[in-house]
């Protein structure tokens, strides 16, 4: 399969099927930065809507106010875990909505904050604190690797404690259980096992407007010789494929005819979404990021374009 080469005059649209993160989005930052001969133009098309879960937010606010997360022997928790930028946004809201909480709010300077990868870490570090939060785990990239890292790092942090203080894990209504299962594995020695309390701070629903919003963005980028769609979860994949004209509504599978001539290419954030597309719609994404990060997605796209390029100027 051959795709046109980039010109200096025209950027390749990258349609990111996600809500733009606040206060900054690392996908926008990375894809807006020109690299070598490739220039991209990122556009966000939200598939899911997120809302704060008030019971969990109230509980977290109470925990922070009574300074229950610290390094002392009477602490309720000895640290925090984040595996989602939405959880960071919920946490940031409470930090920025601080009442007269005194110096040092939210009083977490002496505990480890664990983050699943670069994007979540950047979101945490963007929360202005003095002194800054101590964030660890940026290199891990997934929950399994993060949990294994925590076992060793947290064990060293509280090495004088036979029983480690619990960790508070801020999560959404839908999440994987790999982190708590790994840290609380009964087969672990008592001095390595870590209690994890999950606290739901946000919920997720499907955007009813997604099919229309996606169609509008496709129309706006129709004249581009090449464009990319980046898929972050199985949710909305059917509407995405239908919007691209690839889905056979009778069979529920992707129509194979014409795929070689298309100008829209699909990248997935990782193997879970890739396998869902394979299994459910009988379609192979063009790129599956080796790492579930902005860098991993962009690297996969650029490698694909480099190996499938022809000498046709995008401006033609």
Chain Cα centroid distance, residue 270: 11
241 token code pair: 């494929």
Task: List own/partner pairs for 91-98 with CB under 8 A and 24 or more apart.
Answer: 91/60, 91/127, 91/170, 91/201, 92/23, 92/123, 92/126, 92/127, 93/52, 93/57, 94/57, 94/60, 94/61, 94/64, 95/127, 95/129, 96/127
Q: Is the peptide bond before 127 cis (omega within 30 degrees of 0)?
A: no
Q: Which residues pair with 266 in a beta bridge?
A: 229
Answer yes or no: do 40 and 167 share one domain: no
**DSSP character string of 95-162:** HHT--S--TTTT--TTSEEEESSHHHHHHHHTS--SSPPEEE-TTT-SHHHHHHHHHHHHHHHTTT-S
Q: What is the mean pLDDT of each run of 10 residues along the chain (316 residues)?
A: 54 94 84 80 93 95 94 96 93 83 79 91 84 92 92 97 96 88 96 97 90 97 95 91 92 77 91 93 95 91 83 42
Answer yes or no: do 88 and 175 share one domain: yes
How confident is the model at residue 176, as a pLDDT? Answer: 78
SS3 7: coil
How confident is the model at residue 311, as a pLDDT? Answer: 37
Please identify, among 205, 232, 263, the residue that sits at the C-terminal boundary of a domain: 205
How many H-runs (helices) and E-runs (strands) does the chain carry? 10, 13
Please identify, among 205, 229, 262, the residue that sits at the C-terminal boundary of a domain: 205
How confident is the model at residue 206, as a pLDDT? Answer: 82
Angle between helices 85-96 and 54-65 (to 10 degrees): 60
Answer yes or no: do 189 and 286 share one domain: no
How confident is the model at residue 249, as a pLDDT? Answer: 85
Answer yes or no: do 9 and 116 share one domain: no
Answer yes or no: do 92 and 170 share one domain: yes
Answer yes or no: do 56 and 198 share one domain: yes
Angle between helices 85-96 and 118-125 (to 10 degrees): 10
Answer yes or no: do 190 and 102 share one domain: yes
Angle between helices 294-307 and 118-125 (to 10 degrees): 140
Answer yes or no: do 196 and 213 share one domain: no
- Residue 101 has a CB neighbour count (10 Å cut-off) of 13
Answer yes or no: do 130 and 178 share one domain: yes
Residues 6+ apart with CB under 8 A from 66: none
Answer yes or no: do 190 and 288 share one domain: no
- As for how many domains the chain has, the answer is 2
DSSP 260: G
CA atoms within 13 A on the CB side of 40: 26
Contact 47, 15 (CB under 8 A): no
**DSSP character string of 58-72:** HHHHHHHHTT-BSSS
End-to-end CA distance of the chain: 19
Answer yes or no: do 201 and 56 share one domain: yes
Give the pairing of strands 167-172 and 196-206: parallel
How confident is the model at residue 175, as a pLDDT? Answer: 79
How confident is the model at residue 91, as a pLDDT? Answer: 96
Answer yes or no: do 226 and 291 share one domain: yes
Please identify, among 205, 234, 259, the residue that sits at the C-terminal boundary of a domain: 205
Domain CATH code at residue 108: 3.40.50.10090
Contact 158, 79 (CB under 8 A): no
Task: Give the range of the structural domain holding residue 90, as residue numbers without chain letter.
Answer: 51-205
Buried b or exposed e, range 58-93, using 16+ CB within 10 angstroms: eebbebbeebebbeeeebebbbbbbbbbbbbbbbbb
- pTM summary value: 0.68
pLDDT tens digits, residue range 86-137? 899 999 999 988 766 567 788 898 999 999 988 889 889 888 777 889 999 9
How confident is the model at residue 315, as a pLDDT? Answer: 42
DSSP 241: H
Contact 211, 240 (CB under 8 A): no
């Amino acid at each position: 399969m051959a795709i046109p080469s980039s010109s200096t005059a025209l950027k390749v649209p990258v349609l990111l099927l996600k809500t733009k993160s606040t206060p900054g989005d690392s996908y926008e930052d990375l894809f807006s930065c020109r690299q070598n001969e490739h220039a991209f133009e990122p556009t966000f098309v939200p598939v899911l809507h997120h809302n704060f879960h008030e019971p969990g937010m109230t509980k977290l606010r109470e925990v922070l106010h009574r300074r229950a997360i610290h390094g002392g022997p009477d602490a309720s928790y000895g640290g925090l875990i984040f595996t989602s930028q939405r959880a960071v946004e919920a946490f940031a809201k409470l930090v920025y909505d601080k009442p007269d909480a005194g110096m040092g709010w939210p009083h977490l300077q002496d505990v480890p904050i664990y983050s699943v990868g670069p994007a979540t870490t950047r979101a945490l570090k963007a929360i202005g604190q003095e002194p800054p939060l101590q964030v660890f785990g940026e290199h891990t990239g997934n929950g399994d690797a993060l949990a294994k890292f925590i076992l060793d790092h947290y064990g060293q942090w509280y090495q004088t404690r036979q029983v480690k203080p619990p960790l508070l894990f801020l999560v959404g209504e839908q999440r994987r259980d790999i982190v708590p299962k790994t840290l609380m594995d009964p087969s672990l020695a008592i001095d390595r096992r870590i209690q994890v309390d999950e606290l739901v701070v946000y919920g997720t629903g499907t955007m009813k407007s997604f099919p229309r919003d996606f169609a509008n963005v496709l129309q706006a980028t129709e004249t581009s010789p090449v464009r990319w769609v980046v898929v972050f979860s199985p949710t909305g994949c059917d509407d995405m494929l239908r919007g691209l004209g690839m889905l056979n509504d009778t069979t529920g599978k992707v129509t194979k005819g014409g795929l070689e001539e298309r100008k829209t290419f699909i990248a997935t954030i990782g193997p879970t979404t890739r396998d869902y597309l394979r299994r459910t719609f009988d379609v192979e994404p063009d790129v599956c990021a080796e790492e579930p990060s902005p860098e991993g997605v962009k690297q996969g796209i650029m490698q694909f374009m480099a190996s499938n390029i022809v000498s046709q100027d995008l401006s033609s």
